[in-house]
Amino acid sequence: MKLLLRLALYVAAVLWCLLGVVLAGPPGVKEQPPALSTAELLGLARQTGKPIFIKADAEFNSLFQLTSASSSERAYDLFLIFTSLTERCPNCMSLHPTIELAASKLHTEQAAGDRKNTFIAVLDYADVPSIFRRVGVQTVPMMLYFGHKKPLEPVPFTVDSSSPIYVSLGNFLREQTGLAHFTLTPPPNYFRLGMTALVGLASVVLTVVFWRKFLTPVLRIGPLLGLGALFFSVYMLSGHMWNRIRKAPRSVAGSLISPGFQTQNVAETNAVAVIYALAALALLGLTVHIPSIPSGSFYKRRGFVLFYAVLLLVTTSVSFAIFRAKIGTYPLRLLF
């Protein structure tokens, strides 16, 4: 009886798996959603002020149709963004907020009557890989501007590394659309302002609290100069100069750590700066503060030694954990 029951359970499990395979369809084939018409796509863009997200091949084809068979132009220009909105493309993720900003600004100026025929369309490789192969896209992000008249030759947008992306993209769209006053101004970076204020407040508090105890011997070259040297050292060691040169994103898909040693986030840099500052505090405490405690204060000295040693151990462990998060083959590990 038990043998028959087991056999029945095995047969039921196999049939269930086969049913799941049949219902799921062939692996690797993603079914496209129903295509929207050109009027629906443009109407949605006018209503929301956001880019057009092309989800089907038919939508891409319809957007490129001319006004009529005898016409040589369309009623609008198209700025196509070929991208991959996944963690594998940090540059695509960091560019997306600027694209949203550009679409919103175009919508505002079109509503004001300056121009009514420029739309931004986003194509994600996960949605329409066939379009990428048809256009010949080799790398992402790639941006092409198509005018409304024949011949429909694209004008590529090249990122100017000497200026922020929102400046170079604003200049490009102003030149292509003919909007004389079109500019892109990003919203305030409240995260950066908050981190700057927090680091500044922490620096003031640490300076006031520990000035007479162990900072004075270190800052004999002058209080302001010494404090500036410490801040500059932590600032440079944490990677902020790399961020300014490479224009690193604040974060990628909400992740604090950017994978790989060739990329990093602003949030990651701020975290590393705090870790380095705490590690420097622990080293200064062990080398300067502990020797300055009177020999009779045995328990006080032992308590500070334990505090600074644990702080140094924790900051070193966190640093190793960040290195392993960036590259899984990193061999060192302490507490976690």
pLDDT in tens, 217-261: 555 555 566 667 777 777 777 677 777 776 777 766 666 777 776
DSSP codes, 275-288: HHHHHHHHHHIIII
Contact indicator for 67, 39 with CB cutoff of 8 Å: no
Instruction: Give, in degrees to the nearest 5, the angle at Cα 201 between 198 and 207.
Output: 135
- Distance separating alpha carbons of residues 66 and 330, to the nearest angstrom: 56
- Distance separating alpha carbons of residues 256 and 27, to the nearest angstrom: 33
Among candidates 324, 141, 322, which has minimal Cα distance to 249? 141
pTM of the model: 0.52
Mean model confidence pLDDT for the chain: 76
Question: 189 vs 170, 194, 198, 249, 262, CA distance in Å?
Answer: 19, 9, 14, 12, 24
- Distance separating alpha carbons of residues 95 and 247, to the nearest angstrom: 11
Q: Which residues of the chain have pLDDT under 50?
A: 19-29, 114
Other beta carbons within 10 Å of 14: 10
User: Cα 172 to the chain's mean position, in Å?
Assistant: 22
